[in-house]
Structure 1
């Protein structure tokens, strides 16, 4: 079987589906699946499969290895380099029936003792007469990320259109159940209400206008760091002053100290002076209008009687 050595020029291999021309009469089975795969653009002409095939065509000693797939792959295991082998055969789904899916690996073999080192470079599927290249992990991850990004880009405009924003209420989302009413709600709506009853809706709430909001923001930008009190307090702790009047506010600690001093002064009594006469500066001066002692009936005053009594007493010499 002659192989076409023309190089493949076309779209990426993981985006194509290849099948043999209609004039290909060899059926796909265990002994022919590798030769059928060699017709596809996924095949590498520099692999050990091509070397062994060319040797089997020209060397009678190597020709028997082309008879069966087991002998062909057994011969490949003795060689080092790039090769194509069947990784999985069609699974049996019933008597004489299978999935018809062959899995072929593109791999490199390095001879080591006791086991060879195998590095898989790609995987291909033979489904019926069609051959596909399996996507790599990087391609799958990139595709999933692109799908997620595309979905997020579609969701954001929808979510943005479903909300409304206002300074008073913030972000508001409509209630999806607002249009559906239960039987109880319908029954309540059918009941007539008094004229004085008025339902409050969202339209009844007066919201600030955009002009008012802009003015408030402008005032905040101009006077955000200023003190807008009518009589602001300036100064430092212990020496506060009223900016408009210039008077100092009452210091609570000073007022408390003065009150305590007054209370102590009231509780302290003055010292009594026991000296009589002119030495006592607080003694009252005689004015001649002092109250006289009362008179007793039948006699003079008590002072005169005392004087008479004192003269009657004789003192011995």
Structure 2
């Protein structure tokens, strides 16, 4: 049978809260119903003694309060609670039922549960500790308190506080996982070539590549070689030259109509000054020898 560790357990009792409600005065009673509570603790012993005392003496609670406020040997409550930390001491003075519980716990040795922090209406901290009273004669020192465990209640949920070992272990495992994932990603980027050695690959953006390829294909009219061509100023819609052996070429210029250039005579029709044969030859050579620049 698999048992869930207490530091991984969340407990709540909506039925109990519906009947009694949850507040600072009864939060220890609510905690005593959880699996975190030790039934052999001093709190359970005091609880059973109170039930027996109330059955035999209905005024037991009043007498207990009077005994706490009037301590023997001229001692006051502050002297008796000097060993208690200031935060918990304020809780004892504010809530009489916890003052009564502390007075009874001072008479016993062993494991006990105390309320150590309050932030109403939805947060409480309960501390499990071991009390060792100094019974030597004439000793003025208070009891020795050994902390064992902390529990916190958020809303109606009760949790056990994890140990420092569990926290450090969790952080180290998380760090190791992320480092391992990073190294695996770096290994995928390493590439070896005999001419260049070991180097990292450059990630390729497929969106930019496809856009650039489409633009280059659009500039190449007629499906010819994808090379940069030089257009003369003022010229538009120049047809692609299919071969260097062709004699006549047709060029549309910005002007009155088109003109036909005779490669042999170098004449321009329609009386307009157009592109000469020498200019076309230079354009041809430039287009063939130019090296395209890829982005």
- Tell me the TM-score normalised to structure 1 length: 0.49
Q: Could you say which structure has the higher helix fraction? A: 2
Residues 1:102 and 2:124 are matched in the alignment: yes
Structure-2 change in CA distance of 1:158 and 1:128 (3 Å): same
Counterpart of 1:72 in structure 2 is: 101
Give a deviation string over 1:190-235, Cα, whole Å, max 9, x none.
986865454799xxxxxxxxxxxxxxxxxxxxxxxxxxxxxxxxxx
Residues 1:138 and 2:131 are matched in the alignment: no
Query: 129-138 vs 51-60, which deviates more?
Result: 51-60
Structure-2 change in CA distance of 1:70 and 1:28 (3 Å): farther
Tell me the CA shift for residue 176 of structure 1.
Answer: 5.0
Q: Which runs of 5+ in 2 are unaligned?
A: 66-95, 135-139, 209-215, 220-227, 231-285
Report how many aligned residue pairs link the two structures: 180
Tell me the CA shift for residue 152 of structure 1.
Answer: 2.3
Counterpart of 2:143 in structure 1 is: 116
Who wins on radius of gyration, i.e. which is larger?
A: 1
**RMSD of equivalent CA atoms:** 3.4
Give a deviation string over 1:25-73, Cα, whole Å, max 9, x none.
1122222111110000000011110111111111357952698222113
Give a deviation string over 1:75-133, Cα, whole Å, max 9, x none.
2134221111111001xxxxxxx451000011112224423322221111111221111
Residues in 1 aligned to 2:16 and 2:30: alpha-carbon distance in whole angstroms:
13
Residues in 2 aligned to 1:200 and 1:161: alpha-carbon distance in whole angstroms:
30
Contact 2:23/2:121 (<8 A) preserved = no
Q: Which runs of 5+ in 1 are unaligned?
A: 1-8, 91-97, 182-188, 202-317
- Tell me the TM-score normalised to structure 2 length: 0.52
Residues 1:19 and 2:12 are matched in the alignment: yes
Counterpart of 2:45 in structure 1 is: 51
Counterpart of 2:177 in structure 1 is: 150
Structure-2 change in CA distance of 1:74 and 1:160 (3 Å): same
Residues in 2 aligned to 1:17 and 1:169: alpha-carbon distance in whole angstroms:
59
Structure-2 change in CA distance of 1:63 and 1:42 (3 Å): farther
Residues in 1 aligned to 2:202 and 2:114: alpha-carbon distance in whole angstroms:
61
Tell me the CA shift for residue 179 of structure 1.
Answer: 7.7
